[in-house]
A and B are shown apart, each in its own frame.
Chain A
Amino acid sequence: MSDHSDHHEESFIRKYIFSVDHKTIGIQYALGAMIFLLFGFYLMMVMRWSIAYPQEPLPEWMTWIFGGADWRASWLQAGKLTGETYNMFGAMHGTIMVFLGVVPLGFGAFGNYVTPLQIGAPDMAFPRLNMASFWLYLAGGLVMCLGFFEWFSDTGVAKSGWTNYPPLANFADLEAANQWRSGQTQWLLGLVLLITSSLLGSVNVITTVVNLRAKGLTWMKLPFLVWAMLVTAFLLLLAFPPLEVAGIMQLVDRTTGSSLFSPSGLYTKTLGLVDVAGGGSPLLFQHLFWFLGHPEVYVLLLPAIACVAEIIPANTQKPLWGYRSMVGAVIVLGFLSFIVWAHHMYLTGMGPAVSAFFQTTTVLISIPSVILISALLISLWGGSIRFTPPMMWATAFLPMFGIGGLTGLPLAFNFADLQLHDTYYVIGHFHYVVAPGILFGLFGGIHHWYPKITGRYMSKFLNHLHFWPSLIFINCLFFPMLIQGLAGFHRRWYNGGEAYLPTSDDSENVFANLVANFIELNEFMSISAWLLGIAQIPFIINVFLSIWKGKKVENDNPWDCTTLEWATPTPPGHGNFTFEPTIYREPYQYEPTDEGNIALVQWEKDEETPEDSKA
């Protein structure tokens, strides 16, 4: 694998585990993230059982996680999921998917593997910080999940939602004698580690992009992915610290009995009149959380859009439409994402003036988003589209992300959000963005760069087995959520709304009858979710089997791309390039000929530079 490495042999541990090579770290991020994604998916499947069949014990295969009988008994009640366990799973599903799954896959894996290659750098600017970043991420993730293990926890995992809102989160598990053995406190510790990890990662990516660009690679010649990663890194760098503040403050509240987030005179069922000084503000936490929380959405999204933006020109064999406007849009998006956060908080009663401000900015931010998605859509126009596996995911991304984006518009408006807040409509909206949107884009990215990473293609057949069921079942899973949400189904019903059903057949309770009309969708959605789970099996097989059995690539640039990562040997060795790369062109240039379009790669000099690349 390392025929191009220029010097000494490294030990196995240095090379594959504590590696400082950005490519190995990228792969580590990808594997770690995918394991977490799988685990988060599993938690969701268990929750979906409780929603569909609240009175029925979990099937055996769902209970393996609990291990021994006595540990299991503290999570389940007569084999059924308790409300508390559902809350824990819900909180950890969100946490894992966002912080430990999608961000590390998008920014950690693609940012690490692809960015230095695309700018012609031998490695990241700080390889050892890069390694530290990965291991801090892993440590943070594991600390957050400690509560699943009997050895480390008395009270299970965090259970106050992935947003960890106080005062609920301040007092959850507070009766536990040892706070360090409570999942709620461990979650905060894990969070601090994760933020440190993302700080190191983002500093590294920005420095690399600013200082390690190859000769001739000016800003407007950067591939779109590099721009997207740069903006993402700035979001992580500047948006995460306020959440760290919130995490530290909550940690202090939990461990020293302070009341930064507890109002005066708070009364809870387990603690009675809470013995704290009071005078704190739960709203402060929400502001600090969403100051990160909204930019975080774009941290999730931009790497996925970037992958799609790389896949589409390669598979249409024509330039990316509106590269410059896309770059502009992504920068504007980055700025605007810092001033929209309170649209998550309309229900807190901030007053009409503040609400109006955040409505305006929220509607404004849809403009750059629409520019991005339109540019990608128009890029398809007139192209000779090859439906390769990455292209299938990229084309599916466009409408799916479109649904996700458009369903968000009603939520941007205060008056509509008051009705829809905390219903399944919100769940449906952001899952459309994240699952069939962002994850499809990232699946495309995996298929796209897999040949560079391993030297072999992923199997087309297994991809069909993965893609089509995923596309169908993911819609079967999330579309009914929009319907249920409009009917008023609350997102935190652990029994799927069973408690709200009419008590008799001739009940006149309007809401109860409404719930009865839509509750059967629960079963349909849950079955879709489990089938969606099964549909991921071909992908897992594909990723591992193709390392040995996949079709070998014909050359170093199998997709006919124009960007610099395809100039490296396959797979790239230590130090990446066998020559000193120099950039002569803008990315995504193709020349029409009689035998189809020919890629004009960025690293080759051409005497007759096409006119449109002068700028």
Chain B
Amino acid sequence: MEIPYLVEARKDTGLFNSKIAIWLFLASEVMLFGGLFSSYIFLRIYADYPWPERSLPILPGYINTFVLIGSSITVVFAWAALKLRKYGWFQLWIGITIACAALFMALKGIEYNVKFNHQAAQHLDGTIVEGHLSYAKLKDGIVKYPEHKKAKAGHGDSHDSHDKAKDSHAAPSGYEKIPANVINFSTNELSINLKTYVENKKRIKFLNDQAAEQKQELVSVETGEPLTLELLDKARKDYRANFAHNEDLQAKWLREAWDKAREKDSESPNWKLARTLKVEPNPADPELKTVVNTLKFKTKSGDPVVFRFKPTEVREYPESAILKGGVALSGKLLRSPLILHVDGLDFRALATAAEALGKEPMEEIEKSWIIQNNPDIAKIWHAHLKDIEKLTKHLEERGQEPNEVDLYRLNWKEIVAYLEGTSPNDIKDSLVEKFKGPDYYKRHFPEVTLERNQIHFESKFTPRWNNFYAIYFIITGLHGLHVIGGAIVLFYFGFRSRKMYESNPTWLTNRVEVAGLFWHFVDLVWIFLFPVLYLM
């Protein structure tokens, strides 16, 4: 049996099967990306926060546009070469196309990586501070360690981290190692709620990592057994078995009660009967087993141990902390400030809030915590205000006025310039900086210490930070998956096709044509993506 029109086109439709299929597939893809772009519009129109316009690096996006357009051309050359039965040329063009795809993904990777290492935080008063987390400060005051470099170096010395961490509520100064963006919690008591505790070894590992290494084994209060995963498993099993036993028992009693009630009164409807029925079984019954809901642990010596968590994994209170998955700690929340080297300041949310209350935005910004408490930032802001005056005059001559971004947002060049006392126009970014943002080894940024209880919301520049980044990562991520998928298919057609080329070259040509159509679509999506996400 053979499927017709696999290679040759059907006369009345003029199409071979896979050509119909690819157009249908692309129609479906149009709906997919159409849905995504519609979501983008919806989210942008209804955003109740300042939308981060033009906040992505344009140069890599710009290069990527040409890379993809170029690859769309080379894929056509590949197809044409195959039509002319020039297999070598075909492979060459396919190879170039795949290389373009690789370059595209590499640039995308750099862009993503920068985002993943860039921190932002919103102060309670609405000020948004962007920057890099600092791990350490050298004596001469120059900031040296961007977070991702330091994280590697920091691993080896967990031996003495306990002492340091214990002291971390002291003010950061000198050579102190300050773990950035973690919540420090000091406790000698830990309770595990077995009801909600989910069997998840990864989640409980912090105990082994930290408590055990610090020779401060947590010991169960009642039994004197140290806290191990085995103990937890056993406790959990016991809990579940006893709980299930009681449940079964209660179900049995309830059934018996219903049977009796029905015997007595078979007339009344079910819901009336339920009211006369004593549905609560006797809790003092000896058959019921004791169910321990919570296991409590305490350190052997009674000294507190410091635990650290990612802020997203724990809900912290001054006297207690609750982890996802049912582990609770009672103790003391230590000082866990977020120390940032500021490369972006945004007062737009603050200004909007002030305007809504009928106050003067500039006065409110002047009163904001960060300007009141950080002389560097105050200096930068006042320099910025002078420039704004000039800008306002300049624009007035043309009958325009500065927009919100001009007024309330400072980018890294402005910050660097005002701190140095120069003009932002004098700051020339290098080629690398055009791809990766400011160079933290070379440039000097003001340092801001945000206390945990001053932070309204903080995140890296991940989908979590705001919906612009969420939809940006989704659309570009899905587009990237399409690029990778297309490249794999092209590779297969280009370099695993010798046999097919020799036996049925028309079929192979059809395949490349169809893959090329898909490749053009992927290119087209990017041509929409680039202006929408990068330029608008």
Q: Point out residues on A near B: beta carbons under 8 Å.
A: 6-7, 52-57, 68-70, 72-74, 76-80, 122-123, 125-127, 154-155, 175-178, 181, 199, 202-204, 206-207, 210-212, 237-242, 244-246, 248-249, 252-253, 256-260, 264, 272, 275-281, 284, 287-288, 291, 498, 501, 519-520, 523, 574-575
Q: How far is the CA of A154 from the CA of B200 in the complex (A)?
A: 9
A6 to B2, CA, bound (A): 11
CB distance B271 to A498 under 8 Å? yes
Please report the number of residue pairs spanning A and B whose Cβ atoms sit closer than 8 angstroms. 233
> Across chains A and B, which 4 residue pairs bring their CB atoms closest together, nearest first?
A79-B251, A177-B325, A575-B1, A245-B35
Produce 1/0 per residue, B231-266, CB < 8 A to A. Answer: 000000000110111011011101100100000000
Whether the pair A279, B35 counts as a contact (CB closer than 8 A) is no
- Contact partners of A241 in chain B: CB under 8 A: 28-29, 31-32, 34-35
- B445-470 residues at the A interface, CB under 8 angstroms: 457, 459, 462-467, 469-470
26 A-B pairs (CB sep. < 8 Å): A53-B270, A55-B258, A55-B277, A56-B254, A57-B254, A69-B248, A73-B244, A80-B251, A80-B254, A123-B1, A126-B17, A177-B198, A181-B200, A206-B24, A211-B5, A241-B28, A245-B35, A249-B470, A252-B474, A257-B463, A258-B462, A264-B49, A278-B49, A284-B39, A519-B269, A520-B270
Q: By the criterion CB–CB under 8 Å, are A70 and B39 in contact?
A: no
Cα distance, A252 to B325, chains bound together (Å): 20
Task: For the complex formed, measure the closest distance between the CB of B142 and the CB atoms of chain A, giving whole angstroms.
Answer: 33
Bound together, the chains give a CA A210 to CA B48 distance in angstroms of 48
Contact, CB under 8 Å: A249 / B13: no
Pick from A241, A284, A498 the residue with the most CB of B within 10 Å. Answer: A241
B274, A54: Cβ atoms closer than 8 Å: yes
Assess the B247–A122 pair: CB atoms within 8 A.
no
Bound: A177/B322 CA distance, A: 12
Report whether A277 and B200 are in contact in the complex, using a CB–CB cutoff of 8 Å.
Answer: no
Q: A177-B203, A280-B467 are in contact. Are A57 and B28 (CB under 8 A)?
A: no
- A575 contact set on B, CB distance < 8 A: 1
By DSSP majority rule, is chain B's interface helix, strand, loop, or mixed? helix
Q: How far is the CA of A111 from the CA of B534 in the complex (A)?
A: 44
- Complex: how many Å from CA A404 to CA B365? 61
CB-CB < 8 A to B29: which residues of A?
Answer: 241
Task: Determine if B315 and A70 form an interchain contact, defined as CB atoms under 8 angstroms apart.
Answer: no
Using Cβ atoms and an 8 Å threshold, which residues of chain B touch A519? 269, 271
Contact status A72-B467, CB under 8 Å = no
Complex Cα distance A523/B272, Å?
Answer: 13
CB B181 to nearest CB in A, in angstroms, measures: 14
Q: Is the CB of B35 within 8 A of A178?
A: no
Residue of B nearest to A212 (CB): B4
Chain A residue nearest in CB terms to B463: A258
B312 within 8 A of A: yes
Contact flags B1-32 to A (C-beta < 8 A → 1, else 0): 11111000010010111101100110111011
- Is the Cβ of B31 less than 8 Å from the Cβ of A242? yes
| Contact A78 B250, CB 8 Å, known A73-B243, A122-B3, A125-B3 | yes
Is B478 an interface residue when CB atoms closer than 8 A count as contact?
Answer: yes
Cβ distance A519 to chain B, nearest Cβ, rounded Å: 6
Q: Mark B268-294, 1 if CB is under 8 A from A, else 0.
A: 011100100101010000000000000
> Which A residues are CB-close (under 8 A) to B457?
275, 277
| Chain B count of residues within 8 A CB distance of the other chain | 76
B46 at the interface (CB under 8 A from A): yes
| Chain A neighbourhood of B464, CB < 8 A | 256-259, 276-277
Among the listed A55, A73, A175, which residue makes an inter-chain contact with B325, where contact means beta carbons less than 8 Å apart? A175
Q: Which of chain B's residues has its CB closest to A265's CB?
A: B48
Q: Report how far A177 CA is from B28 CA in the complex, Å.
A: 36
Are A207 and B1 in contact (CB-based, < 8 A)?
no
- Contacts A56-B254, A125-B21, A241-B31 known; A501 to B281 CB distance under 8 Å? no
A123-B3, A178-B200, A280-B467 are contacts. A73–B28 as well, Cβ < 8 Å?
no
Report if B43 contacts A (CB, 8 A).
Answer: yes
CB distance from A493 to the nearest CB of B (A): 12
Q: Max chain A CB contacts within 10 Å: which of B42, B202, B270?
A: B270
Give the complex CA separation of A191 and B392 in angstroms: 54
Q: How far is the CA of A237 from the CA of B34 in the complex (A)?
A: 13
Return chain A residues, CB-CB under 8 Å to B465.
Answer: 277
Q: Cβ of A52: which chain B residues have Cβ within 8 Å of it? A: 270
Q: Which residues of B contact A257 (CB under 8 A)?
A: 312, 459, 463-464
Q: Are A175 and B196 closer than 8 Å at their CB atoms?
A: yes
Given contacts A207-B17, A257-B464, contact A281 B46 (CB under 8 A): yes
Q: Is the CB of A72 within 8 A of B1?
A: no
Chain B residues with Cβ below 8 Å from A212 are 3-5, 17
Q: CB within 8 A of B467: which of A55, A79, A154, A279?
A: A279
Which residues does chain A contribute within 8 Å of B5, judged by CB atoms? 125, 211-212
| B199 to chain A: closest residue by CB | A154
Q: A199 vs B24: C-alpha distance in the bound complex, in angstroms?
A: 9
A263 to chain B, nearest CB (A): 8
- Bound form: Cα–Cα A273–B31 in Å: 35
Known: A241-B29, A260-B43, A277-B457. A176 touches B198 (CB 8 A): yes
Q: How far is the CB of A50 from chain B (nearest CB, A)?
A: 12
Please determine whether B20 and A78 come into contact, CB atoms closer than 8 angstroms: no
Cβ of A284 and Cβ of B42 under 8 Å apart?
Answer: yes
Across-interface contacts of B247 in A (CB, < 8 A): 69, 72-73, 76-79
On whether the beta carbons of A260 and B324 are closer than 8 Å, the reply is: no
Determine if B501 is an interface residue (Cβ-Cβ < 8 Å). no
Query: Which of A56, A73, A203, A207 sits near B258, CB closer than 8 Å?
Result: A56
Q: Say yes or no: A78-B31 contact (C-beta < 8 A), given A73-B240, A122-B2, A177-B325.
A: no
Q: Is the pair B27, A258 in contact by a Cβ cutoff of 8 Å? A: no
CB distance from B234 to the nearest CB of A (A): 14
Measured CB to CB, the closest approach of chain B to A289, in angstroms, equals 11
Inter-subunit contact A210/B240 (CB<8 Å): no
- With a CB–CB cut-off of 8 A, which chain B residues contact A256? 462-464, 470
The residue in chain B whose Cβ has the minimal distance to the Cβ of A178 is: B200
Q: Choose from A69, A178, A287 the contact partner of B245 (Cβ within 8 Å).
A: A69
Q: Which of A78, A181, A278 interacts with B251 by CB under 8 Å? A: A78
Q: A154 touching B245 by the CB < 8 A rule?
A: no
Judged by a CB distance under 8 angstroms, whether B489 is at the interface is no
Interface check B92, CB cutoff 8 A: no
By the criterion CB–CB under 8 Å, are A258 and B255 in contact?
A: no
CA distance A279 to B198 in the complex (A): 31
B20/A210 in contact, CB under 8 A: yes
Contact B20 A238 (CB under 8 A): no
Complex Cα spacing A122 to B464, Å: 52
Q: Are A78 and B281 in contact (CB under 8 A)?
A: yes
Q: Are A520 and B48 in contact (CB under 8 A)?
A: no
Bound complex: CA of A212 vs CA of B10, how far in Å?
9
Q: Which of B24, B198, B248, B459 contacts A154 (CB 8 A)?
A: B198
Q: Which residue of A lies closest to B24 (CB)?
A: A203
Cβ A249 vs Cβ B39 within 8 A: yes
